[in-house]
Amino acid sequence: KQEVTQIPAALSVPEGENLVLNCSFTDSAIYNLQWFRQDPGKGLTSLLLIQSSQREQTSGRLNASLDKSSGRSTLYIAASQPGDSATYLCAVTDFGNEKLTFGTGTRLTIIP
Amino acid sequence: KAGVTQTPRYLIKTRGQQVTLSCSPISGHRSVSWYQQTPGQGLQFLFEYFSETQRNKGNFPGRFSGRQFSNSRSEMNVSTLELGDSALYLCASRDSVYEKLFFGSGTQLSVL
């Protein structure tokens, strides 16, 4: 059974700093890994999708990496802004049953 | 393209009642999946439909059911509501496992 873990559960950093969020998963047989952000009471917004054959994806100030063999992914946020404050979740699509398994998320607060 | 649309946005029911939630996916997306989000359990997969067929099902009791119509719109039904069913129910769509998953804003269900 796939298990996805995100540590830390919460993180506060001053505005302007670069930061890294971590995601680990137990079963490397995945199609892909996706990073989402969720604002309070809202749905999820997809940030980046990394296919299992890829090592990283970039979008603006965001960079996500994937090391399938070690079961890890990181989301790097450069030059953080208060608008980046949200909960960040990673999810893997399991090979074979195609459902997404989510981590519990990291609640990020950027301090102005 | 319009995003994933979920109705209603908020719902208040009492124990024992039943409820139907609706989801309209992004035009052209054939896969619709449903998730339950609670503070204690996080995001949990309910089921996924593809071209009107249930392709995957999570570990929820039979009180939770769904269906998908020929236009890809989906409904989720919960019968004999329990207090523990209070949650944010999220619907998501995509065209294939290799593509990003797009979420609606969710239906906040409160069971009193």
Alpha helix (H) ranges present in chain A? Answer: none
pLDDT (tens digit per residue) in B10-53: 999 999 999 999 999 999 999 999 999 998 888 999 999 999 99
Confidence (pLDDT) at B45: 92
Chain A closest-CA separation from residue B24 CA (Å): 14
Read off φ and ψ for residue A59, nearest 5 degrees. Answer: -150, 105
Picking from A46, A99, A105, the nearest residue to B45 by CB comes out as A99
Contacts with B109 (C-beta within 8 Å, 6 or more apart), sequence order: B11, B12, B13, B19, B21, B78, B85, B86, B87, B88, B89
Is A51 an 8 Å CB contact of chain B? yes
User: Residue B95 pLDDT more than 90?
Assistant: no
Which residues of chain A does B55 touch, with a Cβ-Cβ cutoff of 8 Å? 98
**Quick one: which of A37, A14, A2 has its CA closest to A111?**
A14
- CA distance linking residue A22 with residue A20, whole number of Å: 7
- CA distance linking residue A35 with residue A37, whole number of Å: 7
Is the CB of B103 less than 8 angstroms away from the CB of A36? yes
- Please identify every stretch of chain A with a pLDDT value under 50, giving residue numbers as ranges: none
pLDDT (tens digit per residue) in B52-89: 999 889 999 999 999 999 999 999 999 999 999 999 99
**Quick one: which of A39, A101, A106 has its CA closest to B44?**
A101
In chain B, the residue whose alpha carbon lies closest to the alpha carbon of A98 is B97
Confidence (pLDDT) at B80: 97
Show the CA angle centred on residue A104, arms to residues A30 and B11, nearest 5°.
110
CB B91 within 8 A of CB B103: yes
Is B101 an 8 Å CB contact of chain A? yes
Q: Confidence band (pLDDT; 50, 70, 90) for B98?
A: confident
- CA distance linking residue B77 with residue B46, whole number of Å: 11
- CA distance linking residue A28 with residue B83, whole number of Å: 36
Confidence (pLDDT) at B49: 94
In sequence order, the β-bridge partners of residue B60 are none
Confidence (pLDDT) at B99: 84
Confidence (pLDDT) at A41: 79
In chain A, the residue whose alpha carbon lies closest to the alpha carbon of B43 is A102
